[in-house]
Amino acid sequence: MTVIDANRMHEIETRYPEYFHQSFRQRFGGLMILIATLLYSLYAVWFFDLPKLFAEAHWERVGIYLSQWVSYDVQPEFRIEDDGSIDIRYPRFSPLGDKPNPDWLVNNPDGSITVSISGTSRTVTVSKSETIVTAYGVSVPVDVFGGAPKVVGPVPGWMTVYDDNVLADLGFAGNVSISVDRVKIRKRFIGWANFIFDTQSSFFDKPVGEVVSLIVSGPRIKPDQSNLSLAFDDIWNNSEWQHGDVWTKLFQTIVMAFLGTLLGSLTAFPLAFLAARNITPNRLLNQVLKRFFDFLRSVDMLIWALFLTRAFGPGPLAGSGAIFLTETGTLGKLYSEGLENIDNKPREGIKSTGAQTVLVHRYGIMPQIVPVFVSQTLYQWESNVRGATIIGAVGAGGIGLKLWEAMRTNANWENVAYMVILILIVVFIFDTASNALRHRLMGTKIH
């Protein structure tokens, strides 16, 4: 065991004072940050009233919306006529077309109709006097003969009785609404209905093999148009999914991001030379341009879009203008700071030869800044592809406006999912391409 005497201890303290004579901040800084974080978290919980917010939130809607992203429903309505017959009606724009004959609907010999909601475990049998709902291992008759509908026997937990209506909730598979003279069924299917061909198409409801055969070698459906051209027109002009309009709006969004970023970079580039103190030794001009950049950046792109839609009307021009103004401020600041941090030795060397200012900038500055500037511009372009979607929702055009219109209906969530997936794919492609270009320009490897 080694014993350290007082002199040795004093020598160690002198050599490493940072360990033996720490300031209050060094000793308790970490603890103070932790305490401040906890206090701020408690303040945020109180300020936003998070317990009440979580308690009153409609969490059940999350599952409903998500299910509607990946599924669709068919809503047949069975009307019981005075003579006892049952008339089947579908909504005007039913996914099954004008004359549906689904295999999950069976006409029984006694005149009743049985609808399979989910295989044989969940079915509904409609007759003139009663409706029998079978689910969760039990069959529940509902008397619909005269007066209000009445459940015969005990009411299960998945069935709710109102004054003039009985509602049976069958989970994701659908639900049944029973009244005196009609039964309305909502049957849910996984997938996107009529995504390729809508109900008005000549190829609707045909097997894939038959469609391919018609396109490749089948007789012309329309004498003045080939089947391949007709199939493309039917897909592009699909009335339910509106592929043509969606893809056009998506292309508008990409063009908005590209045009706004390009114009912003072209404008910011020369202004940055005037704003950089080491390039232009005029403090007043430097400060004016830097404050100008701050002003353009301080007004959010969304606000610029609102201003410009009032000035020029809704459309991609307003969106491109909003991106242009924002990027002029952002890239101007980035470019000017990049110029102020260059190595002045190459510049001074070229200047010492008596070269003109343009040549000094060309050979003394540009080789240092071009990779950085292009990298920053590519990153902003990638970011603006996402931003263009947001500003489109306020009328600046592009797929953002289309997405907002679909969300406002609160019924076309499968269309919302379709557009969100397209946006994610485009952002992923641009992110990958931008990342690869940036690494190539900077001379680094992609990990």
- Tell me the pLDDT band of 78, cut-offs 50, 70 and 90: very high
Residue 146 pLDDT grade (very low, low, confident, very high; cuts 50, 70, 90): low
Residue 280 has pLDDT above 60, yes or no: yes
User: 145 phi and psi, to 5 degrees?
Assistant: -95, 100
Average pLDDT value over all residues in the chain: 86
pLDDT at 9 over 70: no
pLDDT at 282 over 60: yes
Structure confidence at residue 400 (pLDDT): 87
For residue 444, the model assigns a pLDDT of 60
Q: What is the pLDDT of residue 328?
A: 94
Neighbours of 290 (CB within 10 A): 20
DSSP states of 240-308: TT-HHHHHHHHHHHHHHHHHHHHHHHHHHHHHHHHH-TTTS--HHHHHHHHHHHHHHHHS-HHHHHHHH
Residue 153, both tokens? 């026997």
The confidence band for 442, taking pLDDT boundaries of 50, 70 and 90, is low
The pLDDT assigned to 361 comes to: 77
* Mean pLDDT along residues 298-320: 87
Judged against a pLDDT cut of 90, whether residue 431 lies above it is answered with no
> Span 243-442: which CATH code?
1.10.3720.10
Nearest 5 degrees, angle CA 366-CA 369-CA 372? Answer: 145
The radius of gyration of the chain from alpha carbons, rounded to an integer in Å, stands at 34
Integer Cα distance of 92 and 71 in angstroms: 19
Regarding predicted confidence, which is higher, 1 or 213?
213
- pLDDT, tens digit (0-9, with 9 covering 90-100), for 202-258: 888 888 999 999 888 888 888 888 999 999 999 999 988 999 999 999 999 999 999
Q: What pLDDT does residue 317 have?
A: 87
* Side-chain-side CA neighbours of residue 198 (13 Å): 14
Q: Say which residue the tokens 């027109």 belong to.
A: 233
- The tokens of 230 are what? 């007709």
Count, residues in the chain: 447
Six-digit token string for 28: 């308790």
Give 57-76 pLDDT, tens digit per residue: 888 778 778 888 889 989 99
Q: Is the pLDDT of residue 446 over 60?
A: no
| Domain extents in the chain | 73-190, 192-231, 243-442
pLDDT at 293: 93
**Strand 71-74 to 182-190 pairing:** antiparallel
How much is the pLDDT for 21?
64
Mean pLDDT of 182-188: 92
- Over residues 343-380, the pLDDT tens digits come to 777 777 877 777 777 777 777 778 778 888 888 888 88
pLDDT digits 0-9 by tens, 385-395: 888 888 888 87
- pLDDT reading at 45 higher than 80: yes
Give the pLDDT confidence score for residue 19 in this predicted structure: 62
